Amino acid sequence: MNLDEILAEATGPSIPQSTLDLQELSRVWVAERVAPELLPWPETLMERVLAGIRRQVEIVEEQTGDMDSKTNFKLIVIQTELERWKFLVRSLLRARIAKIDAHPHHILFTISPTLASQSSSTSYNPDLLSPAESNYLHTHTALLSSHYSSSFLSTFPSALQSLDDTSGGISMISAPDLDTAVFVRCLEDCTVERTEGGESLILRRGDVWVVRWRGVKLKVERGLCELI
C-alpha cells in the first residue's frame, strides 16, 4: 500500500449509492451498445434504477401543482435529469431487443438447459434475459415460425422444415461473431488471452486496448475491464 492509497482511503468521500448506480448503468449501456453479443441482464441494478425513476416521477406529479417559480425551476431540473435516465434505460432495452432479433435461435439455445446441452457452440446461461425479454423472444419466434410454416414451409418436405437445423455439418443458427475487435479500458491489472492458445497480454489499470471480444468477455463481466 503506498501513500496515495492511504490518502485516498482517508480522504475519499463516500459516494452515494445513486451515483454508483448511474456509473453502473452508463457502463452497462455502453457495454451493451458496443459488445457483439447479448450481455447478461443486470437484474438488481435495473430494479433499483426503475424504482428510482418511479419515485422521481411521483415527486414530479405531486409538485406540478405548485405554481411558485422556484419549485418550477427545480422541477425543470428534475425532469431534465429524469429524461436522461429514461434515455439510458430505453436505449439499453432497444439495443438488447436488436440483438435478440438478430440471433433469436442462438439465444433460445443459450437460455434453455436442454437445448444448450445438445449444442456444442453455446453455453447455458439462464440469466441472459429478463422475464419480459424471454417472453418476447418466445412469442416472437413462435409467431415467426408459425407464419413461415403457413406461408411456405409446409410445402417443403418435412425433413427441410425446421428453422434450427444443425445436422449436416452446417448450423442454421446464426450466432454473433465473438472475435470482433472491441475497445476496452482496464480497471484492474489482469492478463488477457490474445488468440486461442496464443500468447497473453498484460493489461495495467488505466490502459486502453483494442482486443478481441472473446478474450475480454469474462473480464468485462467481472468488472476488471470496461468497454468504451
Partner 1 sequence: MALPLPPGLTPPEVAFLCEMELVTVIPRQRLDGLELLGGPTPPLTPPLRANLPLWLALLLKRQRRCNILAPPWLHPASLTSILETETEHSKAAFSPAPKLPPKSLSSSSQLTLSPPFLPSSTADSRADALPFHWMEMGELLLSGAADDIADADLVRRLLRDLREVRMAKVRAGVEVLDAGGGVQMNGVGGMEVAEGRAFIGGVVDGLRRIGASREQVKREREAEERERGLANTADDDYDAMDL
| Bridge partners of residue 186, in order along the sequence | 225
Residue from 147, 154, 205, 218 binding partner 1 (CB under 8 A): 205
The C-alpha cell that represents 149 in the structure block: 410454416
- Stretch of residues binding partner 1 (CB under 8 A), selected from 79-87, 109-117, 155-163, 165-173: 79-87
By the rule CB under 8 A, 81 interacts with partner 1:
yes
Q: Is 226 helix (H, G, I), strand (E, B) or coil?
A: strand
Distance CA 108, CA 39 (A): 14
Number of other CB atoms surrounding residue 131 within 10 Å: 9
By the rule CB under 8 A, 104 interacts with partner 1:
no
* 114-173 residues near partner 1, rule: CB under 8 A: none
By the rule CB under 8 A, 18 interacts with partner 1:
yes
By the rule CB under 8 A, 8 interacts with partner 1:
yes
**Site map for partner 1, 33-52, x if CB under 8 A?**
xxxx---------------x
Per-residue exposure over 89-101, b if at least 16 CB sit within 10 Å of its own CB, e if not: eeebbebbeebbe
Distance CA 64, CA 75 (A): 8
Q: Which is nearer to partner 1, 107 or 116 (CB)?
A: 107
The C-alpha cell that represents 158 in the structure block: 418435412
| Residue reference for cell 427545480 | 74
* 178-197 residues near partner 1, rule: CB under 8 A: 179-183, 185, 187-188, 192, 194-195
Per-residue exposure over 197-213, b if at least 16 CB sit within 10 Å of its own CB, e if not: eeeebebeeeeebebbb
Name the helix (H) or strand (E) containing 3: helix 3-11
Q: Which is nearer to partner 1, 126 or 223 (CB)?
A: 223
Name the helix (H) or strand (E) containing 220: helix 213-221
Q: Which is nearer to partner 1, 73 or 156 (CB)?
A: 73
Q: Which is nearer to partner 1, 43 or 165 (CB)?
A: 43
Q: Residues in the site for partner 1, rule: CB under 8 A?
A: 1-2, 4-5, 8-9, 12, 15-16, 18-24, 26-27, 30, 33-36, 52-53, 56, 73-74, 76-78, 80-82, 84-85, 87, 91, 94-95, 97-98, 100-101, 177, 179-183, 185, 187-188, 192, 194-195, 198, 201, 205-212, 215, 223, 226, 228
